[in-house]
Structure 1
């Protein structure tokens, strides 16, 4: 099993290109199920999760062809409507085939998903919404079984904003009869990106990016050629790394507007952040100031950046309070940061971080995707050698992160 070894103490300096967003690419690739034509998707990141969704689409008998960061998918003759456990268990986002399959072929059988151990993330909101569109849904033997002659639009309220729930219902509703109104929906940039792709395919969608999305169903959709938006979490991770190491890093091919909450917090810790079009330069401060972090749905501070900022606060001046409002198990990286010398106390969904003068390298174990990234960041600033085990989580969401870090001067390697 691979591990990543980091020798700490080097400031990151230079330029780095940000890859396409995993959380945008996954739902966008599943839009191929909604049309018979050949779709072309550019700037698709080379990640384990992306490979998993492509494998699932191929299992459903879609033709999938990859050329570098471009993926062509043609789902002319779907021969299956089932997403089996062996494929779905690898990645929670596999549930995103449920809405498109139901809309396109009128039936779907999808295994209940697996994924990271950061929280329950139930799909009951997906199923409640699909039922309101007229789907018959049962849960048997670990599978969701859904069917409908044709979905019919309705007014649907989400008890809480859910990104994948919003995406699943959007893709189901574009081919439903009549009008669907989705209320209290997620507002993330990935939602807007999906709506843009569906609109370019011929869907009638309004309101993406707000709390209410209105969809007028159409009879059919056309194939599309689109480019996946930049990964705001990868960008935020490199920005935090620059601040943490007192470095000077310029990020290219990113979208600063998607990073406002992160940029604001970096400014508060003392980093100098300069924006030029789709590039962002981050210069780290000599002394890191403490800030409080509360994760919230977009446009609030992203839960996927909480672990990285906890590392930053571990070597900051003073105390900082973290409040996690999205996932109940999002502090499982804390015990590993403590092994490196961090002073962190967890109580429920809150964590108090007392900055220490230095971290010290040690063997650690990655527990989920963003925790893995946080341990790399900790290793960059820790004295001595940090060995991060179980880094397969990283490959689900960061494209060649160790190579990009090495290109900025980090002493990092994979074994």
Structure 2
């Protein structure tokens, strides 16, 4: 496990081009399997987590090859099996998205259950969708065996918008006889990428109003070329780093629609930013930031992917702020490290601070399990001090590195490979902006 030394307190300045969205690319990889022609995906991040999804599709005979920087060529022509091997499929949570292409090609699919990190996440939204489409599911214990011989269009409604649930609903219905309507669907920008891509390869799919998707049966799918949108997590990370380090960073090629909630928050806090064409420029001259209360909600709100960086930013705001996470019940695992660095963040139950509990996990029994600690009370501004940090959870790696860059003095951060697995060239990009980072010799 590599350890990096990070010298904090240095302004980060310059230009950065965010990588393509990993969350968009991974679903497009599975959607490409509907076509037996070549599909070309541009701006795909070259990270280990993408290679893991490629291993899944190659395991059933699909072709997937890198062709130049961030260019991926995929074809489903060689798919020869409806069974995803246990040793591969059980390791990756997104492998369930292969169900649609296999049902389209074979009328059935055998999918291993996910046994990796976060394996406690429920399957209910996937199972409910398949049931709504007439797809029969047999739970064998280690696998789901799907029978799509009687698949047909149907009504799919999510009680709470679900990102991967919406992806699965789209991919499981674009070939089903009749018409499908998905309501209370996720509005994430990555879902918009999936809709546009499916339309490009031949799906009859429309998005007539927010949170509603309509699909008519299509039987033939062709090849296409598609550009993956920029990664919103990376955009938010560098935008907030510009403020935290009192720097000046221009983020190039931003999808404005996706970052509107973020820039609204920055504006409310009094941070400095400007759009220059499709570039987002964020800078700080040491302005006093206003405290705010933030609800973490599905898009079009401040989404859970930004929660940790927003919480870190609020440690530098003047006064008391509250972050109420209505999406995840355990999303503040990084707070203990920030507090060790000098932050003043206390976790609370919603009713303890006058808020109504909101639980997005439909299987969470509030009466039996009680209120989660889903609110962070953040007092600021506070001076952060460098310390030793270990990245044990990839979700918090970027915020730990960002805290080290914002802190006074030197920090040592181990486990950086967990970040590299999901964010392309994160450390080299930071170094290009002037960050002082070096490898600690053991």
Instruction: Describe the shift of the 1:272–1:246 C-alpha distance in structure 2 as closer, same or farther (beyond 3 A).
Output: same
Match of 1:395 in 2: 420
Task: Report the Cα offset of residue 129 of structure 1.
Answer: 0.8
Instruction: Describe the shift of the 1:116–1:309 C-alpha distance in structure 2 as closer, same or farther (beyond 3 A).
Output: farther
Instruction: Describe the shift of the 1:298–1:411 C-alpha distance in structure 2 as closer, same or farther (beyond 3 A).
Output: same
Instruction: Describe the shift of the 1:161–1:414 C-alpha distance in structure 2 as closer, same or farther (beyond 3 A).
Output: farther
Task: Report the Cα offset of residue 269 of structure 1.
Answer: 2.4
For residues 367-403 of structure 1, give each alpha carbon's deviation from its aligned partner in whole angstroms, at most 9, with x where no partner exists: 3333111101100111122222222331232111111
Q: In the alignment, which of 362, 366, 369 is matched to residue 387 of structure 2?
A: 362
Q: Note if contact 1:24-1:193 (Cα within 8 Å) is conserved in structure 2.
A: yes
After superposing the two structures, state which structure 1 stretch, 94-103 or 316-325, moved more.
94-103
Match of 1:292 in 2: 293
Match of 1:315 in 2: 316
Corresponding residue pairs, total: 414
Q: Note if contact 2:174-2:204 (Cα within 8 Å) is conserved in structure 1.
A: yes
Match of 2:75 in 1: 74
Instruction: Describe the shift of the 1:116–1:17 C-alpha distance in structure 2 as closer, same or farther (beyond 3 A).
Output: farther
TM-score (norm 1): 0.95
Structure 2 residue runs of 5 or longer lacking an equivalent are 349-372
CA distance in 2: counterparts of 1:285 and 1:258, whole angstroms: 26
Q: Note if contact 1:233-1:305 (Cα within 8 Å) is conserved in structure 2.
A: yes
CA distance in 1: counterparts of 2:398 and 2:323, whole angstroms: 18
Any idea what SS the aligned residue of 2:74 has? strand
CA distance in 2: counterparts of 1:102 and 1:196, whole angstroms: 21
Match of 1:211 in 2: 211
> Where in structure 2 are the equivalents of 1:11-410 lying within 5 Å?
11-67=11-67, 68-114=69-115, 117=118, 120-207=120-207, 210-286=210-286, 287-347=288-348, 348-410=373-435
Any idea what SS the aligned residue of 1:83 has? coil
CA RMSD of aligned residues (A): 1.7
Any idea what SS the aligned residue of 1:281 has? strand
CA distance in 1: counterparts of 2:429 and 2:304, whole angstroms: 23
Structure 1 residue runs of 5 or longer lacking an equivalent are none
Q: Note if contact 1:33-1:104 (Cα within 8 Å) is conserved in structure 2.
A: no
CA distance in 2: counterparts of 1:382 and 1:154, whole angstroms: 53
After superposing the two structures, state which structure 1 stretch, 176-185 or 288-297, moved more.
288-297
